[in-house]
Amino acid sequence: MSSTEPAATESEPSAQQQEQQQQQQQQQAVIITVRCIRSFEHRALKSLVLHGVDLAHTSGGDLMALVKQRIQTAPGFAPFRAIAYDTIKIHSQAFGAKTNNPIINLDHDDWVLDPARTLHEQGVKHETELSMYRLEDYNTYKAHPSTVW
């Protein structure tokens, strides 16, 4: 009689249970940080922490609209309100490697978020750091990455 065999298989979740767990995690609201970059050369940025973001139903465009709205009302963001932000890019993932550049990740241009796709489809997870900036300023900085101070 091998009573330990069924117990061992019962403790391992089935493929269906694993899929359900993944769906539940995707549906849960997460915390993400958006780094609003005012100037690459002066390293002027301010972080905005967003609680309760639904990755499965929020697109890149929805996130940009939400951040722009929060900047208009959040204290301490007055110098950032006049910037015409048009791009959001993944800066780093939780427990992942970070870039040596303190202002932005210059290595992965493919991490720019598509405004039409959901955040989950684009690899955004709990505690992901995103950078929001003007694409023109980014391209200028990428061509000549130098700081003023």
DSSP assignment letter at 80:
G
Structural domains of the chain sorted by starting position, each given as residue range(s) with its CATH number in brackets? 28-143 (3.10.20.90)
* Mean pLDDT (whole number) for 92-96: 84
Pick 69 or 25 by higher pLDDT.
Answer: 69
Q: What is the pLDDT of residues 3-43, one digit of tens each?
A: 444 444 456 777 777 677 666 655 578 999 999 999 999 99
Burial class (CB in 10 A: 0-12, 13-18, 19+), 54: middle
Q: What is the pTM of this model?
A: 0.78
Determine the Cα–Cα distance for residues 125 and 109; give it in Å rounded to an integer.
18
Determine the Cα–Cα distance for residues 26 and 36; give it in Å rounded to an integer.
25
Q: Structure tokens of 95?
A: 């427990």
90, 88, 85, 65: which is closest to 134 by C-alpha?
85
Determine the Cα–Cα distance for residues 123 and 88; give it in Å rounded to an integer.
13
Neighbours of 113 (CB within 10 A): 23
